[in-house]
A and B are shown apart, each in its own frame.
Chain A
């Protein structure tokens, strides 16, 4: 794992909001319903200007649906949403918002049979960017993503990671304030993921607000704040360290079995009276005891069966505890 991704990062400054205008995104009691199915159920949150906001949840939790509402692609069933201080309540505002928002969707959205230049120039025409501005902006962005191939290369001939970067360039061609990235690094190599996140952080340093979803915990760790979605509902929103603290107020231990632990034994430990949480991680277990007394009790009984190591919880622990744990 690349070092820079794991190293703890000093919390970047965020403008502390004073007026509603300082919120990049405001969502209040948002409901999106498809037939009987509530894809998004009464969700409210705020995103500060200039922060990297991570949006987390299993597939079908309602992440993409929320993003599509915020990008003006979907009209919500109920509730309010405003982006860059402009409200979607008035439908005629949609175009003004679209000018301030860049969207890179989950599906790869460039045209494979067009060259890099044609793709960018097509997006520029749709956005009505003047030719001179476009030329300047194009160079800027190609430098930004350090694009080193001929600009007349067909998109289909680019490696996956570079496609993603060109796609990012296309979605920020009009220099938007807020950038929505829906799983931007799905299916690319870890080196490309690292580079992509460097770009994201660079954009954030330029004052852009980044709204990003991801399945990779190491990526999410780099967000300023994280919102967790489960089955259409928002279940937690905090900074990564805050989430870890609130989810695991008690110490967390890794238990490495020294003999074969049967499934029944593991279940009895989970059901038993020692732990608040007891989750399998491959061959190991992550366990959080109910109290110091419980922990000592457990150690007396099982000390010889496990190698025990105190660990700091990762976001994966948080995710499993909050999102998957509750479904069991």
Chain B
């Protein structure tokens, strides 16, 4: 093993990256785009829900309900003059929900007969419906208190407090998870091209006709992408802390250690794809599919692993993205250390070692035979 030869490869790789607009754009723009898209567009707290309101009672009580709705800032209310028109608003897809307050609402309320109102929802959008129902249970309680000026006596007084993320801010949840997606996509994608490029150009022959060792090729090829990977991690980290104001409660050493293991796994995966397929276009597609899909859909980035069907829950166990997701989020929000994250770190390391061994073996077998 001669480090100077690995260095020569690394230097050449840097030239390639610097001179290839596609790679360069990928390395710089991809993390930026991801942060923009996921950081801004994804919002679990649904706001600005269009709601049709028919007030058939027109009393102080019914107006209090409307007032409470408006002051919640979750709804954009459009009043209608008949229940039919309110429902028609949903059919016309102008509103997501309709609240119909019946005549004698106030009378029935004070008569102790139970005041009736009807909530009609557009069931075609599950996630919005879930949020609306959540909001309404609060609105129901608040408007009762406003109308009757008395507190509802609770049999069980449930006081809810959210640990780690008291305001349930979606960004606190999303942005640390973005680390996983950015590393997975960027490093798998870029390395999937690097060996395939040599095969496609025919320059692999040039390399192999010299006394260079496979391990020197691999080290030289990967080194620039490790640095690039850490660069993009740091970019997302700065965006997370500085821009989205996500707290970082853990140790930087643990965090970057986790990043290193995950990064290495992804690089090895890219290398394996590149060596096996040997065509840039095809490698890139395979890398995209095997890196992007699991890291977004199966890692717990958006959909919790616990609520997946059994098969997928078992499947996620072999996906490094799932384990690094735990590391990234827990270090950010809970301040977990290596001890708390020992299972994640253990599995992540095992997968990493397997992947590295597999890719080196495959590459060695290919170039030595």
Contact = CB atoms under 8 A, between A and B. Distances in A.
B209 A73 contact: yes
B206 A170 contact: yes
B113 interface: no
A246 B300 CA distance: 76
A75 to B, nearest CB: 6
Main DSSP-derived SS at the A contact region: loop
A125 interface: yes
B19 A123 contact: no
B5 A126 contact: yes
A113 B206 contact: no
Contacts of A75: 368-369
A101 B209 contact: yes
Interface residues of B, number: 25
Interface string B1-43: 0101101110110011001100000000000000000000000
A108 B204 CA distance: 11
Interface in A100-142: 101-103, 105-114, 118, 122-123, 125-128
Interface in A280-328: none
A106 B15 contact: no
B201 A128 contact: no
B202 A108 contact: yes
Nearest to B8: A125
Nearest to A109: B206
Most chain A beta-carbon neighbours within 10 Å: one of B8, B201, B205, B212: B205
A126 to B, nearest CB: 4
A108 B206 CA distance: 9
Contacts of A108: 201-202
Contact of B203 (A98, A103, A110): A110
A102 B209 CA distance: 8
Main DSSP-derived SS at the B contact region: helix
Given A75-B368, A108-B202, A125-B4, A113 B209 contact: no
A113 B19 contact: yes
Given A105-B202, A107-B201, A109-B202, A126 B207 contact: yes
Interface in B184-224: 201-203, 205-212
B203 A109 contact: yes
A15 interface: no
25 contacts: A73-B208, A75-B368, A75-B369, A105-B205, A107-B201, A108-B202, A109-B201, A109-B203, A111-B12, A111-B15, A111-B16, A113-B19, A114-B16, A118-B12, A118-B15, A122-B8, A123-B206, A123-B210, A125-B5, A126-B9, A126-B210, A128-B2, A128-B4, A128-B211, A171-B206
Q: Which 10 A-B pairs have the closest CB atoms?
A: A107-B202, A125-B8, A109-B206, A103-B209, A105-B205, A126-B210, A95-B211, A113-B19, A98-B211, A109-B203
Interface of A: 71-75, 94-95, 98-99, 101-103, 105-114, 118, 122-123, 125-128, 170-171
Given A98-B209, A107-B201, 20 more contacts: A71-B209, A98-B210, A102-B209, A105-B205, A105-B206, A108-B201, A109-B202, A110-B203, A111-B12, A111-B15, A113-B15, A114-B15, A118-B15, A122-B12, A123-B210, A125-B7, A126-B9, A126-B210, A127-B211, A171-B209
